Amino acid sequence: MKIFYSKKKLVKELNGNPNIEFVPTMGSLHRGHLSLIKKAKNNLNKTLVSIFINPKQFEKKNDYRKYPKNIKADIKLLKKSKIDYLYIPNYEDIYAFKIKNKIHLDLFADKLCGKFRPGHFKGVVNVVNRFIEIINPKSIYLGIKD
């Protein structure tokens, strides 16, 4: 498993590979994440997992600060899962570029978590779009609530 902390190094490594299976996470991995990773690995392409706690998904800064961080345990689980790449970007890697695709949300964004956490779904869609623009994966694997 190769670990990347730099967008530039990751993009160079991927070199436009059209066969990347991508599983975005915010870390604190659990069985749901591992299930998605297993599905991604079934396609026999390269599997890339990201760990990025997206501040734009949190209405309250305190909730963002309190979000669990278990990077050592996450890396250990991912090594056992035998993924190809792990990307742990910083804020600038994700948000320091202008996106190509404009984001439009349906009224659904005001339901479920969006009802109690304004901006939550916009933050999720925005960061996933940015990852897609960086990685250009063949497939992306999201949990049910995403």
Domain that holds residue 126: 2-140
Helices 71-81 + 31-41 axis angle, to 10 = 30
Q: For residue 86, count other CB atoms closer than 10 A to its CB.
A: 22
Mean of pLDDT values over 113-141:
86
Q: pLDDT-derived band of residue 112, with 50, 70 and 90 as boundaries?
A: low
139-140 and 85-87: which strand pairing? unpaired
Q: Look at residue 100 and tell me whether its pLDDT is greater than 80.
A: yes
Per-residue pLDDT at 8: 97
Average pLDDT, stretch 82-96? 97
Per residue in 8-61, pLDDT (tens digit) is: 999 999 998 989 999 999 999 999 999 999 999 998 899 999 999 999 888 888
Let me know if residue 6 belongs to a domain. Answer: yes
Number of structural domains (the chain) is 1
Residue 22: inside a domain: yes
Q: Is the pLDDT of residue 75 over 80?
A: yes
| Annotation marks residue 120 as catalytic | no
**146, part of any domain:** no
Check whether 103 has a pLDDT greater than 80.
no
SS3 112: coil
Structural domain contains residue 131? yes
Q: Residue 125 corresponds to which tokens in the numbers above? A: 């869609």
Q: What is the CATH number of the domain that holds 68?
A: 3.40.50.620
What is the layout of strands, in order, in the sheet containing 46-51? 2-4, 85-87, 46-51, 20-25, 139-140
pTM for the structure as a whole: 0.91
pLDDT at 133 over 90: yes
Q: Are 50 and 23 in contact (CB under 8 A)?
A: yes
108: confidence class by pLDDT, cuts 50, 70, 90: low
pLDDT interval class at 110 (50, 70, 90):
low
How many secondary structure helices (H) and strands (E) does the chain include? 7, 5
